[in-house]
Amino acid sequence: MTGDDTAEEIFDVCDAEDRVIGQAPRSRVHAEGLLHRAVHIFVFRSDGRLLVHRRSATKDEYPHCFTSSASGHLGAGEDYEPAAVRELEEELGLTSPLEYLAKFPAGPETANEHSVLYRTVTDAEPTPDPGEIESIESLTVAEVSARLEAEPEQFTPPFRVLFSWYFAQAK
């Protein structure tokens, strides 16, 4: 949701096994720490560099923190892959085939989000949504890892979990 949208997003509320048990508005889901769903996309360049973005100042969670190339919540009734395609387009203006990598359970370290991680490789130029993204950087996996180790608070908790898993797989 960006810009002039005034209707509050409605999310599926899930149990610990990612079964939908109801729906609630975004503000309530976040305020009450209800389990819900999200997608993350790691966009790599053909040279292996990963796009990371700094979240805008207006984000309700983790403003100014670095996170995945694109990420976002699933709307009520939405499946993971269509949400990933939508978020990639909305946040970066990109369309690129997605590869499913892994699913992570909801918990404090994932901001109470059942999170599915996708990867894509493209050299298309992103067009970041200024309502979502303050800035974007293209870094090697080693550079991201070094920054994460030096200043973990500069990255969203869900990104820390997903990237740590990815980095361990890449070794």
CA–CA gap between residue 102 and residue 145 (Å, rounded): 19
Whether residue 157 lies inside any domain: the answer is yes
Q: What residues are paired with 5 via a beta bridge? A: none
Whether residue 30 lies inside any domain: the answer is no
Q: Identify the band that residue 100 occupies on the pLDDT scale cut at 50, 70 and 90.
A: very high
In 11-156, which ranges are continuous DSSP H helix? 26-32, 80-92, 141-150
Whether residue 25 lies inside any domain: the answer is no
Whether residue 31 lies inside any domain: the answer is no
| CB-CB contact of 72 with 38 (8 Å) | yes
Q: Identify the band that residue 6 occupies on the pLDDT scale cut at 50, 70 and 90.
A: low
Q: What residues are paired with 20 via a beta bridge? A: 14
Whether residue 10 lies inside any domain: the answer is no
Whether residue 64 lies inside any domain: the answer is yes
Work out how many domains the chain is built from and give that number.
1
In this structure, what CATH number is given to the domain that contains residue 161?
3.90.79.10
Closest by CA to 18, choosing from 72, 71, 68, 79, is 79
Whether residue 63 lies inside any domain: the answer is yes
CA–CA gap between residue 71 and residue 69 (Å, rounded): 7
The whole-chain average pLDDT of the chain stands at: 94
Q: How far is CA 93 from CA 13, 23, 58, 99, in A?
A: 28, 28, 20, 18
In the chain, which ranges are continuous DSSP H helix? 26-32, 80-92, 141-150, 157-170
Domain with 90, as residue range(s), is 39-170
Instruction: Say if residue 64's pLDDT is above 90.
Output: yes
Over residues 101-118, the pLDDT tens digits come to: 999 999 999 999 999 999
3-state helix, strand, coil in the chain (%, to 5): 30, 30, 40
| CB-CB contact of 94 with 124 (8 Å) | yes
Over residues 117-161, the pLDDT tens digits come to: 999 999 999 999 999 999 999 999 999 999 999 999 999 999 999
Residue 112: how many other CB atoms lie within 10 Å: 19
Backbone torsions φ then ψ of 97, nearest 5 degrees? -60, 135
Backbone torsions φ then ψ of 101, nearest 5 degrees? -110, -50
